[in-house]
Structure formats: C-alpha cells, structure tokens
Structure 1
Amino acid sequence: MPIVSFFGHRLTPIGPHQRAGLLRVCGLEPVGAVTLAHQLCRWERWNSGDVVVLGRAGRPAAGAWATGSLLPFGLAARPGLGHDGAGSDGAHALADHARTRLTRYGSVVGPVQDVEAVWTDLAAGGLRARQERWVQPVLVAPSPDGGLAGAVVRRRPRLRWVAEALHPAGPAEEKLVLPASVAMFTDELGYDPMRAGGSYARHVSWLVATGRSYIVLDDGSGTPARPEGTGRVAFKTDVGAVWRAPTGTVAQLTGVWTRDDLRGRGIGTAALAAVVDAVRRDHTGADGIVSLYVNDFNAAALGLYGRLGFERAGTFATMLL
C-alpha cells in the first residue's frame, strides 16, 4: 500500500520478496549501487518502510534503504542509460519518509546526484549535517596480469612480507581487529562508535565471521609478526559490500587503515594490492570489480590509490548526521 502519492510516483514500502525491481534499477550502475544492492540481498527480513520504492514495486523509478541511515539510488535522471529518475516530487516524497527514520550519527550516502536530490528537501525541512562531504571519488582497481600485489612486489621486493602476510582475519584475531576498526572509524568519522552500544562490535564480528575483514599483522615495529601470534594490526580493510550484479560481481572496500606509525613506508600500498587480489580470489572471481570511495581532501589516500592504478568511476556524497 503506498505511503505517499505524488503525481505518477507512489512511495511504496516493499518486502524482500519484491526486491527484484529495485535490483534492476541498481543494475544501471552496479558500482554506484553496490551498497544498496548488498543490503537488499543480505537481509531476508526487514520492517515495513525500511526499503521503499518510487513507482510500482515491479518497475520502480528509484528506491532507498531508509532505516537509521539513508541509501538512495535512482532519484536523479541518467539520460545516457535511458533512466528518467524520480523527479523533484519523488525526491520530496522520499525525504518526507526518511526524515523521521534518520538517527543521530546516521548518514545519507550514495551517488552524488541522488544524495543531492533528497538532501535539498531534507535540509529545507531543517535537517542539519555534522559534515557534508560532496566530493568522494569512486575508484575501481586495475586488473594487471599476474595480480596487483605481484606488480607492487616486483617494484619493491622488501615489501613482499606484507603481501604474503595479508589474510582474512580469523575468529581468534577478532580481539586485535576491533581496536583497529575503532581507531579507523574514529579517525574517519570523528566519534567513537562504541559509544552507541554493541552494534559496531557486532558488525566487526560479522565481518570477521564472513571472511570480509583483511589484515596484516606485524611485530609492532613494521617487520613481520613472530610465529607465536603476538603481533599487532598493521593494516586492515573490510569488504563492506558485495553484489552479484547481472553484469558481474562488484565488491566495495571500506575502512582502509594503516597504523599511524607505519604510514609513508609503503606498507599500505602493498597490503591494499594484496587485498584486491584476495577479494577477487575469495569474493568476486577473477573478473570481478573491486571498488572503493575516498574523500577528495584525503591526499595521502588518493596518492596511494593512484600509485596502484585505480581509476575513477563516479562520485559519491555523504552527509554525516
């Protein structure tokens, strides 16, 4: 049953059995839509209103995940893809729906044109962001013959140990991963996620349990960890989203982090190269797309990704609430 009707676009809650139509919209831009598509495919149950579409459930114009945070996709027209978007009335309907569902420390995140479409109405209604990050380049990893890590190690043989030490964190290593994840999150978003209760720790535990958290351990000084396993996390990143799109599997890396005392030594470069190879091995297949997005003001990260040959595939925006 529609929540709101604006001319031709009904805002309608859908259940998991109705997600196929919205996934087809996501297929217009699999790299840009991977976060929303991942959420739609991950959960077999959600509450009414958590996922909404504009238009008919089977053939929507756009849609969003709208619980705590907002993940919109398809609001803006994509003329080159034959997509008309949902128009200003559709964006207004989504903003009205999302306004009471967004929470403190939530966010509005997605392709910049979709975020802009809904944020205009949200801001006009009085919603304010702690930070507005309007330019977040979306980057896609290259696929060199022999793997990305091999190319890095050939140039810098002393970093071979880093590539060889990269592995999915195991359950016994979760106690090492959590503080590194908290440090990354706090540096990136400006607050300690553990203040909000146990949800963040549960998320990190899920990433570890599903083989999506990749780490490099060292001995605490930038050399290989001793075999007895008393190491520290030197580098970490997570596979935040994976979607088997019609055109191929897409993965999105999140939480890329190198320990402060090791930055500038090439460890992050070698580790991230090894992650790209590992994600293709473990999650996407050899032809899969490995992507991430980064703030335009993070010059060090942009330099790292540029050295590895990442190429721009779009722009995200994030409103931090």
Structure 2
Amino acid sequence: MLTVPVRQLGESERRAVERLLDLDPYAGAQVAERIAARGLAWWRAEGRILGYGARRNLESLCWLGGNLTPVLATEPAVAAFADLLAGEERLCSSIVGRADAVLGLWDQLADVWGPARDVRPNQPLLATEALPAVPADPEVRRVRGGDIDRLFPAAVAMYTEEVGVSPLAEDGGRSYRRRVSELVRAGRAYARFADGRVIFKAELAVVTRRTAQIQGVWVAPEWRGRGIATAAMAAVVRDALLRVAPTVSLYVNDFNLPARRVYERCGFRPVGTLATVLF
C-alpha cells in the first residue's frame, strides 16, 4: 500500500485550489464552477475535493461528487487518489477529465469499481476565443420559461442518445427537468424551433470566469444532414462570447466526425483530450 499524501481540502486552501484550476481552465471547468458557487466546505459543495501534495505545494486535485474529476493529476497523484478511493464504495456515476488521468484511475479502480457501462477513451477537448467566421443562424435564440415543455423532450432525447440511458429512469425525470429549467432561467439554454418543435438545442452547461462550456448539442434526427448545425452552433458561440465568457469550450467523442467538422467550421481548436468512464 502507498503512503497516501492525499487529504480532503477545506476553505482555508481555496486560493491554492483556484490557482491550480486556473492552470487548466477547460478540463477543470466543472470543478471551478462548483467551487466558485459553493466553496470547499463539504456540507455546501455536495462533494469533496481531494488534494495531492504538501500543504504549501498543492500539485493535483480530484473532485468527488456525482462524478469523479481529476485535475492536473500527475502519475503519482493518480496512484495516490486511486489508492484512497479503492477503499470506498463507488457513488459517482462517471469519471471524467484529462484522458491520461482518467484512464490511469480506471486502470487501478476497475477491479473494485467495475464493470463500467462504457469507456470513452478519446474525446477531443476544443476551445475558441474568436467569433465564428461562418454566419450565425438568426432563428437560434435563448430558450424562455414558456418553452420548457417543448425543450424538455428534446433534452431527454439528447441525453438518452449521448449517455445511453434515459434521464427519466431514476426519478421520473424530476431532477433532470429541474436542471434543464435552471439552465433556461440562467439564460444558458439555446434552441431553434420549427412547427412548434425543437430542431436544434445546446446549453452552456458550465460557466466560469475563464470559459463557457457547451454541452447537450442535439439536432432532431429528421433535420440531420440538412446543414443547419454549423450556423446554429455559430449563433450559440457568438452569444456566449459576447455575453458570458472570454472563451467557449466543449468536448466531443472522437468518432463523431460530423460534429467535429461543425466545431472546426465554427473556429474551435484542440486544447487536449478527455476521457469518460460511465457507470
């Protein structure tokens, strides 16, 4: 067994945590958003943040809540985090972060936390700070409160297609609808409607002072192949850059070539590779 130089971090180390998160603003965006909103006290944060390294030399982080997210996790940090976590029951629904750290954690945790429902080892992480050169679709707009009943079925379809399970399964969709509603109220959900139905949607699922991270991109099946996605994404990126954050980021499955072409046309560039383990 390793002598584990890992400890749970508290509010007194917030400055050191924020310094590390600033070094990886895209892969660590979800953790940065949670800490900015709730701090490091476990009873407020709905999760724990673990640190690796001496108190005066914090080197790596690992968020443990609904998902497990390593940040700037070196090989020794991955080994230390895995050694600690192997003694705990798995409560997270996924492991997501930089590919080397996620796959390193999974290699050491698979025997005790497995099996996984899916492992996605190569998810390009992309970002842009430039307004798209392609025209934006003027019919894409921020979703309003009165649109939620129309947006929700599209959100469920996207989630089921992307994750492989329905968000309605656990509690009839109440928590997922609450999350969708929160994004709408915050002005972070976008859609294009046709004949009263959503034909394109996307959300700024994570927002920090460094980036707005797009997730939930979806085109209705009958509209795919018609060339609407590039202009629709350009509208989202343009609004996010002008109104929300200095950069826009996202990650995509490596095998989703049509989506990757859309993002390239909208000006996104590679800034790393993520991996996801789904349970």
Distance 1:208 1:15 in 2: 32
Deviates further, 37-46 or 194-203:
37-46
Deviation string, structure 1 residues 108-164 (Cα, Å, up to 9, x no partner): 000111212221221133522111100000112361xxx42xx423xxxxxx6xx21
Matches within 5 A, 1:288-307: 288-307=246-265
**Higher radius of gyration, 1 or 2:** 1
- Quick one: which of 190, 199, 204 aligns to 2:175? 199
Distance 1:86 1:191 in 2: 32
Pairwise CA distance, 1:102: 2.3
Pairwise CA distance, 1:295: 0.3
Deviation string, structure 1 residues 196-219 (Cα, Å, up to 9, x no partner): 112211111111111111111122
Gaps of 5+ in 2: none
The answer to whether the 8 Å contact 2:99/2:274 transfers is yes
Pairwise CA distance, 1:183: 0.5
2:222 aligns with 261
Gaps of 5+ in 1: 78-84, 154-159, 220-230
What amino acid is the match of 2:190? Y
What amino acid is the match of 2:63? W
Matched-pair identity in %: 35
1:241 corresponds to 2:206: yes
Matches within 5 A, 1:152-231: 152-153=134-135, 163-197=137-171, 198-219=174-195, 231=196
Give the count of matched residue pairs. 274
What SS is found at the alignment partner of 2:134? helix
User: Per the alignment, do residues 194 and 46 of structure 1 end up closer, same or farther by CA in structure 2, a change over 3 Å counting?
Assistant: farther
Pairwise CA distance, 1:300: 1.5
The answer to whether the 8 Å contact 1:16/1:40 transfers is no
The answer to whether the 8 Å contact 1:137/1:316 transfers is yes
Pairwise CA distance, 1:235: 0.8
Deviation string, structure 1 residues 2-34 (Cα, Å, up to 9, x no partner): xxx954x53222345543222211222212211
- Give the TM-score, by structure 2 length: 0.89
Deviation string, structure 1 residues 169-193 (Cα, Å, up to 9, x no partner): 1111111111111110001011111
Distance 1:30 1:94 in 2: 26
1:66 aligns with 64
Instruction: Please give the root-mean-square deviation of Cα atoms over the aligned residues, in Å.
Output: 2.2
Matches within 5 A, 1:60-99: 60-76=58-74, 86=77, 88=79, 90-96=80-86, 99=88
What amino acid is the match of 1:304? V
- Give the TM-score, by structure 1 length: 0.78
What SS is found at the alignment partner of 1:32? coil
The answer to whether the 8 Å contact 1:91/1:117 transfers is no
